A and B are shown apart, each in its own frame.
Chain A
Amino acid sequence: MTKEELLQTYLKDPVFTEEGYLKEGEAENFDWNDKRRIPIVELLKNIIKNHSDGKGDRTIIRLGNQLLDNRL
């Protein structure tokens, strides 16, 4: 399963539309390189990428925290 496939699988979850992060129908064709910088999606991509790269859990959590601090 590629990173892109993994991302799309997660984005299918209704929480993204219910909480207003994405509009209906947006998740299905969401592009990994989407430029909108939606924080929750950025965080998810960050976790998927770092996990795929074999980084340790603590590092991934630290980087995720940093990303949120920078984006919000």
Chain B
Amino acid sequence: MILTKAQLKNFMCYYDENVFEFSEGINVVIGDNGYGKSKLFDAIYWVMYDRCFDTSADEFKTTKQLNDKLISDRAVHETEQGNVNCSVSLTFYDSRKENTYTIERSLSATKNEDKVTYGNTSTERVTERKGVLSAQIIDDKDKVERLKKRILPDNIKPYMWFQGEQIDNIIDFKESETLTRAINVLSDISRFDEISSITDSLVTSVENELKKKQRSLSKDKNKSDELEAEIKKKKSLLNNYKSDLQQAKKGKKIAEERSEELLSKIDIAQEIRDLDSERKKLEKDFNKTVLELDNLRESLNKRLFTRGWVLKGVSGLFKGFEEKYKKYNDSKLELKRKLQTEKRIQEKLQTRLPINVPEPIYVQKMLEKEQCLVCDREAEKGSEAYKAIESLIDDSSEERKRLESEFKERFDFSSSLESLYRNGLRQEGRISDIDDDINDTLKRIDELTQTKNELKRDLDDINNQVKNYIADSSINVEDAKKIANELQASQSMTSRFSTDIGSYEGRIESLNTEIRSLESKYGKLVVGDLPTHLLKKVDISQHLNQAAQSTRNRVFQELIERLEEEANKHYQNMTQDNMSARGIIKLREYDGNYTPELIDNSGNQLSQINMGNILLIKLATIMAIISARQNTRDTQLYTLISDAPMSVFGEDYTIGFCKTVSQVYRQSIIMSKDFYKNDKLRNQLLNSEEINLGNVYMIEPNLPEEERESRHKLATEIRSLN
């Protein structure tokens, strides 16, 4: 069944009536981000399942949860009063029966002035048109469900209808069972599994019948019962051990996978750890350098005084001061000498008259009378005798002494000058070192600044290296530290599980021997012959069961080989435009489960595969499962619908992907932005003879980006490109 038409009315950004028509081959809906591609996918999904995938929440949401988001804002805005309806209708064509089916889902809202009430439940309407007859509504809900299952069975849905974001989960490389599950779903192998299970049960049933007969012919029924109970007990124990063995194998496999994963990371983790420890050392050195530099810079002002830098350049001043001080001292000594001379003169004078004799008042009288009253001689004013009397007044004047003392106190700087001189002498040695000290300090600042810059550069380098390692390997520093311990733990778990497996296998073998022995004893209790037809029945059922199990394994093995071949064909086709992507897809078997991996020509697993390649391997594997069943009814029936499946792996793969998809699926509908801006790619799509092309549409919003914020005028324009 193919999807021939999708009609959207007032659904999300699809305002008013919008129609997409699809045909066989690859149909492509082209649009940039936010132009409505995902909304088209949502519309199709909504019709079928009454829910949409909410990428922000990474889950499907129901109509009730999404109601206000489903109806076009513009439709609501432009409705003044009353009902606003949104609907999506899908038309499917069954070419085998020549029937046309239409499934329509609608939702309404009521607007009362500015208040909008959205409906919580949608309405579904399904019609069937047989050949050229008029369409009939299908009321029977079961029939509708059956129709939907025919369009797309639930178990196939994840592989046929998906969004780009979901591809990663379809086949999870960490879960080896997911590929096996996909193989089971998309291949016939489940039929073989089911038939194997039936033949297995048939054998049990026939063996029970035989046992029943054996018991009825037993010569010692009690013994037979005893043996049967014993056999039952042993078989129950055997089943327990088998189950434990499976668990241990599973545990071992998980531990081995984990070890393998960790082993592939251990080197890089070591690099990250080494880099981190180097980074820490550098960080420590850097902080130490910054601290020293800051302290040094802060101490520069203090050093003006603590290290005498304030005296820088004063050595000339000191010399000048020294000379002046010397002159001062010389003149002082000269003066002192004079004073001493005077003193000596005074002392001589004192030999004639004692100090303060005669008393100053008589001396004054003598000067007034111009006559010496001691010797009674005349002392005419201005004469030597007068001056001699006068000198007696000078020396004896208290006031003069006081003035002299005051003058000495107030104007004699000799002690200060001496102190300055002595200080100068003390500093003289340091002054000569100040320039060196300043130079040394500035040099240290330069050195530290340079060291700081170098350390910063090294630190940035190492931080970038760590960042790159982390980005490439997805291992952060904390993980890197844990990896070695975790690896040791995983390896020890692997070893423990191996021991358990050996032990369980031993016990199983021993129990099987015991059961066989008990069954033999049980058989020997039979008196007479067992019915031949019953023995034949046992033989036939056992042989058929043996054939069923081995056929299942053979078919599965052939399927795996075919899948590998197909997957590689698709992978090569998809990567043909990118020479850097190489490798061979190998489906690695472990304990009945398969995991796709990429190997080189020598069979070595390729590591460091990027996300795009991983997704291509997954897509190639899914396509292989589909194409391995090419021309079977199933693959003819289902349409691949995918939103942005190519978004992760880049433009080099886009055309290869389209070619492959158009060859594998009878019909596919792909939403893509890759062709939007890239005209060359778009032309290749439209003109390639290798692509079985259906309809190609370009969708664009009717408003430029700056006007799109208000969605009250938003609509989507659909343009057919072929």
Contact = CB atoms under 8 A, between A and B. Distances in A.
A12 B551 contact: yes
B144 interface: no
Given A1-B188, A65-B205, A13 B198 contact: no
Contacts of B539: 19
Contact of B540 (A40, A48, A51): A40
Contacts of B544: 40, 43-44
A61 B209 CA distance: 13
B299 to A, nearest CB: 90
Q: Is the interface of B mostly helix, strand, loop or mixed?
A: helix
A32 interface: no
B198 A60 contact: yes
Contacts of B554: 12-13
Contact of A19 (B188, B537, B543, B548): B543
Contacts of B632: 1
A51 to B, nearest CB: 6
Contact of A51 (B198, B537, B547): B198
Interface string A1-24: 100001001101101100101000
A70 B570 CA distance: 51
B198 A68 contact: no
Nearest to B629: A1
Contacts of B191: 1, 6, 51
B191 to A, nearest CB: 7
Interface residues of A, number: 25
A57 B551 contact: no
A28 interface: no
B547 A16 contact: yes
Contact of B546 (A6, A15, A64): A15
A10 B13 CA distance: 55
The number of chain B residues touching the other chain, given as a range, is 20 to 34
A41 to B, nearest CB: 9
Interface string A50-72: 01000001001100110011001
Nearest to B531: A72
Given A51-B191, A51-B195, A65 B206 contact: yes
B550 A65 contact: no
A10 B548 contact: yes
Contact of B543 (A21, A51, A69): A21
B198 A57 contact: yes
B536 A72 contact: yes
Contacts of B317: none
B537 A68 contact: yes
B203 to A, nearest CB: 10
A64 B141 CA distance: 36
A10 B201 contact: no
A32 B640 CA distance: 35
A9 B551 contact: yes
Interface string B420-458: 000000000000000000000000000000000000000
Given A9-B555, A51-B191, A61 B547 contact: no
A46 to B, nearest CB: 10
Nearest to B532: A72
Interface in B189-212: 191, 194-195, 197-199, 201-202, 205-206, 209
A43 B537 CA distance: 10
Contact of B551 (A13, A40, A65): A13
Contact of B533 (A10, A15, A21, A72): A72
Contacts of B199: 47
B541 interface: yes
Nearest to B539: A19
Contact of B202 (A12, A15, A61): A61
Nearest to B201: A61
A50 to B, nearest CB: 9
A15 B198 contact: no
A32 B135 CA distance: 41
Nearest to A55: B198
A1 B199 CA distance: 19
A52 B199 CA distance: 15
Nearest to A38: B540
Contacts of A43: 540-541, 544
B287 to A, nearest CB: 72
Contacts of B537: 68-69, 72
A19 to B, nearest CB: 5
Contacts of B206: 65, 68
Contacts of B546: 13, 15
A60 B551 CA distance: 19
A72 B191 CA distance: 28
Contacts of A13: 546-547, 550-551, 554
A58 to B, nearest CB: 8
A24 B540 CA distance: 19
B198 A61 contact: yes
Given A1-B188, A13-B547, A51-B194, 20 more contacts: A1-B191, A9-B555, A12-B554, A13-B550, A13-B551, A15-B547, A19-B539, A19-B543, A40-B540, A43-B544, A47-B195, A47-B199, A48-B195, A51-B191, A51-B198, A57-B194, A57-B197, A68-B541, A72-B533, A72-B540
Report, nearest first, the 9 A-B pairs whose CB atoms are least far apart.
Answer: A72-B533, A13-B547, A15-B547, A1-B188, A68-B537, A40-B540, A13-B551, A10-B551, A61-B202
6 contacts: A6-B191, A9-B555, A15-B543, A47-B198, A57-B197, A64-B202
Interface of B: 188, 191, 194-195, 197-199, 201-202, 205-206, 209, 533, 536-537, 539-541, 543-544, 546-548, 550-551, 554-555, 632
